[in-house]
Each structure stands twice: as structure tokens, then as C-alpha cells.
Amino acid sequence: MYSYEKLLKFTEQIFIKMGCPAAQAKSGAEVLLSADLRGVDSHGVARLSGYVRLWESKRINATPKVRIVHETPSTAVVDGDSGLGLVVAPIAMKIAIEKAKNVGTGWVSVKGSNHYGIAGYHAMMALEHDMIGISMTNASPLVAPTFSLDRMLGTNPIAVAIPADKQPAFVADFATTTAANGKLEILQRKGTDAPMGWIQDKNGSQTPNPHELKNGGALLPLGGDRDHGSHKGYCLGSIVDIFSAVLSGANYGPWVPPFVSFLPMPANPVGEGIGHFFGAMRIDAFRPAEEFKLHIDNWISTFRNANAIEGEKVQIPGDYERNESIKRINEGIFLLPPVENDLKELSEKFNIIF
């Protein structure tokens, strides 16, 4: 078990060694660690060596000049200048929040970025301002649209955070595939089968073998197959791709520069880096915030108290992650041996105590 503070400090020091300015190293580390806190083990320090690998291959600029390249009162396009997505994303989300203060809502599409950690972190930045926060990003092309043999989309997550009054906030944060790639990576490590409906092999047949993804197979859009609505998951992933990358001028679809090491860089880029999309909506641009939040409390308690299947309960989006956070702050964060080894290697490479 490792304490949150220890892993946070270690990550911050790695980013400083990469050349990040101190404030950005701190902010980026906080974003990365929010995944380890919230129980999204695949997106936290387990990926730290992946970020270092991208930096070593000159795909990450440690001192980016993040700037607005076009704007209107409610919108902006932000150029991340190849910075860490972990650093670029909060800057872009802050711009969305400032615009919402002025004209009710703010919407920011980002190009020239890299992977930004968990979508939920950025959406949740809106909560303290009594705003709804929205965050999405495109990602490594690993997903086959309905009936496709080719991998055309990322797991393209969507996060929406909605403030409540006495209840904890509603925080949805989910990949638009049946299962996130992180879940598959865990099965690959354990050598266990995946449920049918998560992946297809290179011939487009569903398979339980998690290794087929690296063998020309693909992740499947939410829904799994046509009969169960995979065309809807495909729609969602496409919308995330277009809002994040075609609105901003980033790479889209199969051109998204991959984070995973087993995919090559696509030739003939159609834009710059990967893309994100952020939104902030001021509650009182619609109705008084207190009134809204009391109704959200009622919404949450009504859903939480719905009659449930025996042995189960109806959860509210964000419940699991919030409970994990509390537990992990108190009890520490467990790392799998391969992740520990990764961090030890980074410790030696950068001469930082782990």
C-alpha cells in the first residue's frame, strides 16, 4: 500500500525532471493521481511510464504555450502545444468556466494535446462554481464501429458532473465502449476471459480472449452488437471524436496518435495531437442554483431508494468512485507488482527516491 501523498509527490517530481514548470507538474500530478484515488487504476500511476515514453519520443512538450487560437463569448479553441493532456485539460476547462461566468455557458475544443487522465476530474472542476461540467476526449484507435473490421475510434469517454445540495454530486464518467481498455488490460495480465460482447477478433467475431485486441481485433462500442444497440455506442464515440477533434483541428478517427505502445503512429496526420471537448453550464443561467440543487437531492435520493434486485442496490453515478477515494485516502493505494516495477524503474532512471 502506498499513501496518496507519496505517489503524488513522486509523480510531481517525475514531471519536474521531464522539464515541466513546477505549477504544471503539481497540477498534472494531481490529475493523474485522481484516477488512483477514484478506483480507476488503469488511468493513474500505472500510466506514468507511458507518459515518460511519449516525452522521450518527443511527442510531449514539457513547456507548452497553451493558448486560445479562436473564440467567441461562449466558445474557444485551445492549442495545447503538444503539452501533457494532464496539464492542458484543466487550463481549457478553466476557460470554459470563465466563459460560463460571463454568458451562461462555455464550450472549449482542444487540439494539440495528449492523454488527459480521467475525464471526470475535469468535469468536476465546474462543481464548486455551481456549474454543470462536461468533459470528453478522443483516444487511441482501438474500437470497431458496428460491422467494421477496422479499428476507427477510441474508447472516447464522456464525463458529466452535476452539483447537488446535501447529497454528493452526480458524477458520470464512462467509456463509450462496452468496457474500457483498462479493464481489458487487467484481464490480459490475469489471463482470464472477458465476457462476450467486449471484443471481436480480426475476423469480426466476438471472442472472450482479451489478447485478440493486439492480434488485429477490436474493442466493441457500448451495446456490443447490433441487436443490443452497438450502433448507439458507435454514435456516442463518433460524437466525442468530432466535438473533440474536428471542431478543434486535432487528429480524429484512425489518425489519433496512440497512447498504447503496440500501435504505430498513423501516417499523414489530419490535425494536431489528440482532441478534447469541455463544457461548463452555470446552473443559475437556467434557474436559481439552490432550487436546482434541492431537486437534484430529491432526484438522487429517489433513485438511490428505488426497489432493487435482491442483494444489490441502485447506485448513483459517482458513488463507487467517491467511496474508493475515501477508502484510499485512509488506507492507501494498492499497486500491482508490474506497476510497482514500472515506478521503480522510473525512480532509477530519474534518480528520485520511490
Sites for a second copy among residues 211-270 (CB under 8 A): 222-224, 227-229, 231-236, 238-239, 241-243, 246-249, 252-254, 270
Give the range of 16-24, 45-53, 58-66, 69-77 binding a second copy by CB under 8 A. Answer: 69-77
Question: In this complex, which beta carbon is closest to a second copy, that of residue 54 or of residue 194?
Answer: 194
Q: Is 197 in the site for a second copy (CB under 8 A)?
A: yes
CA dist list (Å): 302 to 49, 102, 292? 43, 34, 15
Q: Which of 24, 140, 156, 178 contacts a second copy by CB under 8 A?
A: 178
Q: Give how many residues touch a second copy by CB under 8 A.
A: 82
Which residues, including other chains, have CB under 8 Å from residue 306's CB and lie 6 or more apart?
A: 314
Residues 304-333 that bind a second copy (CB under 8 A): 306-309, 312-315, 317
Q: Is 298 in the site for a second copy (CB under 8 A)?
A: yes
CB of 132 to a second copy, least distance (A): 8
Residues 153, 157: Cα–Cα separation, whole Å? 11
Q: Is 120 in the site for a second copy (CB under 8 A)?
A: no
Q: Is 145 in the site for a second copy (CB under 8 A)?
A: yes
Contact predicate 47/84, CB 8 Å:
no
Nearest to 283 by CA among 159, 182, 162: 162
Q: Which of 107, 116, 121, 259 contacts a second copy by CB under 8 A?
A: 107
Residues 19-38 that bind a second copy (CB under 8 A): none
Question: In this complex, which beta carbon is closest to a second copy, that of residue 23 or of residue 309?
Answer: 309
Q: Is 86 in the site for a second copy (CB under 8 A)?
A: no
CB of 94 to a second copy, least distance (A): 18
Residues 32, 46: Cα–Cα separation, whole Å? 10
Residues 112, 274: Cα–Cα separation, whole Å? 6
Question: In this complex, which beta carbon is closest to a second copy, that of residue 311 or of residue 337?
Answer: 311
Q: Which of 189, 214, 287, 327 contacts a second copy by CB under 8 A?
A: 287
Question: In this complex, which beta carbon is closest to a second copy, that of residue 270 or of residue 352?
Answer: 270
Residues 219, 216: Cα–Cα separation, whole Å? 10
Question: In this complex, which beta carbon is closest to a second copy, that of residue 223 or of residue 273?
Answer: 223
CB of 318 to a second copy, least distance (A): 10
Question: In this complex, which beta carbon is closest to a second copy, that of residue 222 or of residue 335?
Answer: 222
Residues 146-175 that bind a second copy (CB under 8 A): 146-150, 152, 160, 162, 170, 172, 174-175
Give the range of 32-40, 44-52, 290-298, 335-343 binding a second copy by CB under 8 A. Answer: 290-298
Phi (first) and psi of residue 344, to 5 degrees: -65, -40
Nearest to 349 by CA among 55, 71, 107: 55
Handedness of CA 221, 222, 224, 226 (dihedral sign): negative
Give the range of 79-87, 120-128, 276-284, 324-332 binding a second copy by CB under 8 A. Answer: 276-284
Q: Is 278 in the site for a second copy (CB under 8 A)?
A: no
CA dist list (Å): 269 to 265, 339, 352? 9, 32, 36
Q: Is 124 in the site for a second copy (CB under 8 A)?
A: no
Beta strand pairing call for 75-79 and 105-113: parallel
How many residues would you count in the chain? 354
The separation between CA 73 and the C-alpha centre of its own chain, rounded to angstroms, equals 27
Residues 154, 256: Cα–Cα separation, whole Å? 8
Residues 296, 301: Cα–Cα separation, whole Å? 8
